[in-house]
Amino acid sequence: MNHYTFEEIKIGTTANFEYELTKQKMRQFQAITGDINPLHIDLNYAKEKGFKENVVYGMLTSAILSTLAGVYLPGEKSLIHSVEINFLKPVFLSQCPLKIEATVTEKDERFSQITVKYTICNQLAVKVCKGTMKIGFVK
């Protein structure tokens, strides 16, 4: 885990890591959220709709943003203020693990807040998700 303070972290600081997704995590996400949409759990339904596999829950993909902030940028002192997520392509388990790349692009001294831009790519190097996070620091 990183322990960056607001003063220590710099514009241009980056983080890169991988995120494995599995059938078990899909089932756990369904249990936690109650999202029983068949696109995620019924293979025949997903195929009828033109997908080769069940589509991974978008919010399960984006759940890794919690780790991006809480473990990497800035790590321990993270306090997420806001998250913008753009889902660009469907995510399939066969194309995981996903790769997260993120960079600190702004520092707002007034609020001790950083802006982190991130992209999430699958194993085919296709960008499946991108966006911006605003993250503060616990004292």
Partner 1 sequence: MTKEQIYQDLDEIFQDVFDDESIHVTEATIAADIEDWDSLEHINLVVAIENHFKIKFNMSEVTSMKNVGEMVAIIMERKA
Exactly one of 12, 94, 109, 138 binds partner 1 (CB under 8 A); which one? 109
Q: Which is nearer to partner 1, 48 or 106 (CB)?
A: 106
Min. distance of Cβ 98 from partner 1 in angstroms?
A: 29
What residues form DSSP beta bridges with 86?
130
Stretch that binds partner 1, among 24-32, 51-59, 108-116, 121-129 (CB under 8 A): 108-116
CB 26 within 8 A of CB 91: no
Dig out the tokens for 5 from the structure: 């303070």
Of 119, 114, 115, 82, the C-alpha closest to 99 is 119
Site for partner 1 in 73-102 (CB under 8 A): 81-82
Measured at the CA of 73, the angle between CA 102 and CA 94, to 5 degrees, comes to: 50
Query: Which of residues 47 and 81 has its CB atom nearest to partner 1 in the complex?
Result: 81
Give the up-direction half-sphere exposure of residue 20: CA atoms within 13 A in the CB hemisphere.
Answer: 3
> What single-letter amino acid sits at 15?
A
Q: Which stretch binds partner 1 (CB under 8 A): 17-25, 97-105, 109-117, 124-132?
A: 109-117
- CB neighbours of residue 52 within 10 Å: 11
Rounded to a whole number of angstroms, the minimum distance from the CB of residue 37 to partner 1 is 28
**Stretch 110-139 residues interacting with partner 1 (CB under 8 A):** 110-111, 113, 134, 136
Which residues would be at the binding site for partner 1 (CB under 8 A)?
Answer: 81-82, 109-111, 113, 134, 136
